[in-house]
Structure 1
């Protein structure tokens, strides 16, 4: 009986079941993100199905960030790139929204901040250090989180744009996009990265909980399919399970640049159209 169980566990992780590199996953997630942002910027022009498709973007990108962190040859440089992405996104968006202070559509998200925090949390967890050094690092992280949270909350009373900028410069686990919930998902994805069955069960449970949470807001088609449809991220699971452990082509700076650039372009177009 033990042999059968072990054989099943091995089969679940065999390469014959997988065939997609992180490059392909990123391209799929990028397209999904673009469709989602088009629908969000122009809800009267693009169908809600674009938003449904867009639900796969964050979990797939998060999966790729985790794989990148696992396979990087230089963790510090990897963390630095994610942090710079967060800073560039926040500073650029702050400048735009300061210049267009009366714009109807605002930029509220910065997924780089969330991914940076996730990478930091995973690094703190897996780094092999003496207990004393690890405790000191966790204390530093917690202190920074407390300071950033208090600063962001204070700035919220002054200007949402300044609070947004602060969150990009000092990413906070509570105020960043997706908040603690998505950071927990990312940590669980990392924890079960070597077992497809456990990974799948965890992810399905997470999506079911998202669905149940949406139901509490109203068990209606309008609510579940047009308002609170984050649970549709379930469709990202087959893509992540199809990962073949390979990087594929390397266009990392393209992916880093696309996120802020397309967000800013859509911001300008949406507000230009709204003004007419």
Structure 2
């Protein structure tokens, strides 16, 4: 099977594209959301409402997915992706499944923002985790203790959450039109900052966090907004490997990064239930990220020596 690569990794090109798409994204999120709320696109609304009803029925019948389950699932997806990146590069299916990890982490980070008792402590924990994780991340991806050209994903989430803090502070104290302007500015600034700092997933990753903030909720237009925005971010902004697919005589290409959209049914089955929780489990979830990367990096170094 021949694969083509839709490469968006040139930083200058990606920064320019990020600015353009961030501006358009801001307009799409704000204007599009307003129009949908005000004028109700009837046929589309009916279809999405039916989908939402089916999701609710499924979660009622088979049980909702708790926050703990989502965390464990995302950790498993991430581990599979990192196994592909280090020890099993020939197993492409691992990174295909791994595409589901980041949207789930972004979603849970936003939920954590709205459920935490102290944002300062929440942000501080992420900051400490980001610093601790940087060396294992650099060892795994760069093969060295210090690799300044790619930062770990916790920085991506942290930029997104700090930006949300700014938007929420304005929303709570200012008029609606001020909030709209600030959202547009923060969307652009956050996306550009993520790209310039070369955090994991660049500005597209920061925008993914914004998606779950701006389209937070279970209304039909929130589901539609999440799906449309994630398609745009993952296929148009990030791109990547393109798999040729033949279906019923039709030939087309499937973007590997677009498989990230398969994470949406999982987050849609989450209804706010925390599930299992303890301090040990919380510390395990935090420690898993740097520890598993360090182990993979050490094993890879041992194999290659």
Q: TM-score, normalised by structure 2?
A: 0.63
The aligned residue for residue 254 of structure 1 is: 284
| Distance apart, 1:102 and its partner CA | 9.7
Residues 36 and 106 of structure 1: CA distance in aligned 2, closer, same or farther (over 3 Å)? farther
Instruction: For 2:156 and 2:239, locate their aligned partners in 1 and report how far apart those are by CA, in whole Å.
Output: 26
- The 5-angstrom pairing of residues 31-42 of structure 1 reads 31-42=76-87
The aligned residue for residue 261 of structure 2 is: 234
Gaps of 5+ in 1: 150-171
| In the alignment, structure 1 residue 173 sits paired with structure 2 residue 194 | yes
Residues 47 and 93 of structure 1: CA distance in aligned 2, closer, same or farther (over 3 Å)? closer
Instruction: For 2:52 and 2:82, locate their aligned partners in 1 and report how far apart those are by CA, in whole Å.
Output: 35
Instruction: For 2:262 and 2:100, locate their aligned partners in 1 and report how far apart those are by CA, in whole Å.
Output: 7
The aligned residue for residue 26 of structure 1 is: 71
Instruction: For 2:52 and 2:112, locate their aligned partners in 1 and report how far apart those are by CA, in whole Å.
Output: 22
| In the alignment, structure 1 residue 83 sits paired with structure 2 residue 113 | no
CA RMSD of aligned residues (A): 3.9
**1:83, 1:113 within 8 Å by CA — same for their partners in 2?**
yes
Instruction: For 1:47 and 1:25, locate their aligned partners in 2 and report how far apart those are by CA, in whole Å.
Output: 24
Instruction: For 1:236 and 1:204, locate their aligned partners in 2 and report how far apart those are by CA, in whole Å.
Output: 10
| Distance apart, 1:200 and its partner CA | 2.6
Residues 39 and 106 of structure 1: CA distance in aligned 2, closer, same or farther (over 3 Å)? farther
The aligned residue for residue 7 of structure 2 is: none
| Distance apart, 1:106 and its partner CA | 11
Q: TM-score, normalised by structure 1?
A: 0.69
The aligned residue for residue 30 of structure 2 is: none
Instruction: For 2:161 and 2:203, locate their aligned partners in 1 and report how far apart those are by CA, in whole Å.
Output: 14
Residues 59 and 51 of structure 1: CA distance in aligned 2, closer, same or farther (over 3 Å)? same
Residues 245 and 109 of structure 1: CA distance in aligned 2, closer, same or farther (over 3 Å)? same
- The 5-angstrom pairing of residues 1-276 of structure 1 reads 12=52, 17-18=58-59, 19-44=64-89, 47-91=91-135, 93=137, 101=144, 108-127=150-169, 130=173, 172-174=193-195, 175-209=198-232, 210-211=234-235, 220=244, 229-250=256-277, 251-275=281-305
Residues 55 and 93 of structure 1: CA distance in aligned 2, closer, same or farther (over 3 Å)? closer
Instruction: For 2:201 and 2:82, locate their aligned partners in 1 and report how far apart those are by CA, in whole Å.
Output: 16
**1:86, 1:112 within 8 Å by CA — same for their partners in 2?**
yes
Instruction: For 2:235 and 2:94, locate their aligned partners in 1 and report how far apart those are by CA, in whole Å.
Output: 19
The aligned residue for residue 13 of structure 2 is: none
Deviations 1:121-157 (A, max 9, x none): 11111126655xx99xx9xxx9xx89xx9xxxxxxxx
Residues 40 and 247 of structure 1: CA distance in aligned 2, closer, same or farther (over 3 Å)? same
Residues 229 and 123 of structure 1: CA distance in aligned 2, closer, same or farther (over 3 Å)? same
Gaps of 5+ in 2: 1-39, 246-251
